[in-house]
């Protein structure tokens, strides 16, 4: 090969792709047990933390577009985990609220993060916490750097997911 930079083994993007596939494989049985997809799970994570949110807030927080969010919310509503209501003050805005069943599911999901951390990191709890914090900080910094680079490259026409 004439260009070493094009070797698959040299591609960071391939490492992220492979990591994402393995992470989803680790999550799948845990989420199947709860009857959730990963996108539904992260939506519920946000709602467990905030109690309620508008569709726009969810899209922004989860980096999902409304074309993905709307059917996802419809399925969560059909499962009885959330309710959706249009705001009286602005009928264009839909608010999402957890139901009692949605709140109760939180207790069943509480062990998922530690299970995933054990898959990713050391089984030693103290070491695991340190590695988790370091990994999260590195990923946050990398994501922010990518966003900044994209903003600069696009001449300021870069927009966050809404």
Mean pLDDT by 10 residues, the chain (162 residues): 87 90 95 97 98 96 94 98 95 96 97 87 75 87 89 68 41
Question: Which strand (E) or helix (H) includes residue 79?
Answer: none
pLDDT at 151: 84
pLDDT at residue 154 in the model: 80
Residue extents of the structural domains in the chain: 13-109, 121-155
In whole angstroms, what is the distance from residue 54 CA to residue 139 CA? 27
List the structure tokens of 119: 């898959």
Both tokens assigned to 7:
């070797």
pLDDT of residue 156: 59
The predicted structure's pLDDT at residue 161: 44
Count, residues in the chain: 162
Pick the CATH number of 13-109 from 3.40.30.10, 3.30.390.10, 1.10.10.10, 3.30.1330.60: 1.10.10.10
Instruction: Using the structure block, give the residue that is written with the tokens 């996108």.
Output: 39
pTM over 0.85: no
């Amino acid at each position: 090969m004439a260009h070493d930079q094009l070797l698959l083994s040299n591609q960071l993007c391939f490492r992220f792709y492979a990591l994402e596939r393995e992470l989803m494989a680790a999550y799948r049985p845990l989420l199947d047990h709860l009857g959730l997809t990963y996108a539904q799970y992260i939506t519920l994570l946000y709602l467990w933390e905030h109690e309620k949110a508008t569709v726009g807030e969810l899209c922004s927080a989860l980096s999902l577009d409304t074309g993905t969010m709307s059917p996802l919310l419809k399925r969560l509503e059909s499962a009885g985990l959330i309710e959706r209501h249009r705001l009286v003050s602005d009928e264009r805005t839909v608010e999402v609220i957890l139901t009692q069943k949605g709140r109760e599911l939180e207790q069943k999901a509480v062990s998922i993060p530690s299970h995933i951390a054990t898959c990713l990191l050391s089984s030693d709890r103290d070491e695991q916490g340190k590695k988790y914090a370091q990994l999260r900080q590195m990923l946050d910094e990398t994501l922010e750097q990518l966003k900044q680079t994209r903003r600069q490259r696009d001449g300021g026409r870069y927009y966050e997911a809404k």
